[in-house]
Amino acid sequence: MIYEIEKKAWLNNKTEAINKADKLFTFIKDDVKRDTYYFNGDFKNIDFKNDIIFRIRKDGDTTFITHKKRDFIDNFEINEENEFEAINPDDLHQFFLFLGFSVLIEKNKSGKIYKY
């Protein structure tokens, strides 16, 4: 069982933040992840803490299926993660649609990886 503890931060100036990171850390590479989230219910009344929502994440040449059991304490998101590698994500996508799940959202996440 894996736990993820997440605290969101908002930037007023992305370029300034990248410039500071470049000075403090060693840049490793740009990072792109492609996520497709699935949901089976009423989109108007989604309960992100309790409803079954899961994703297919394409990260380079690797693809993962992830389900998170969410909890919120103060301003922290604490997730119990269940994750496994997917061998054929396109077939899984079709299978999830067949089971009655709908695509909730698709998003591309881009970031930078640094070494401290």
Residue 46 has pLDDT above 90, yes or no: no
Q: Per-residue confidence at 64, pLDDT binned at 50, 70, 90?
A: very high
Q: Per-residue confidence at 65, pLDDT binned at 50, 70, 90?
A: very high
d(CA 72, CA 15): 30
Tokens standing for residue 84:
């496994």
What average pLDDT does the structure give for the chain? 91
Q: Are 74 and 43 in contact (CB under 8 A)?
A: no
Q: Find the length of the chain.
A: 116
High-pLDDT (> 90) share of the chain, %: 65
Task: Please list the alpha-helical segments (H only) found in 1-116.
Answer: 14-24, 89-98
Q: What is the pLDDT of residue 96?
A: 95
- The radius of gyration of the chain from alpha carbons, rounded to an integer in Å, stands at 17
pLDDT tens-digit series, residues 6-37: 888 888 999 999 999 999 999 999 999 999 99
Write down the pTM of the prediction: 0.81
Count the alpha carbons within 13 Å of 88 in the hemisphere toward its beta carbon: 5
Residue 56 has pLDDT above 90, yes or no: yes
φ and ψ of 9, to 5 deg: -135, 145
Q: What is the pLDDT of residue 25?
A: 97
Residue 50 has pLDDT above 80, yes or no: no
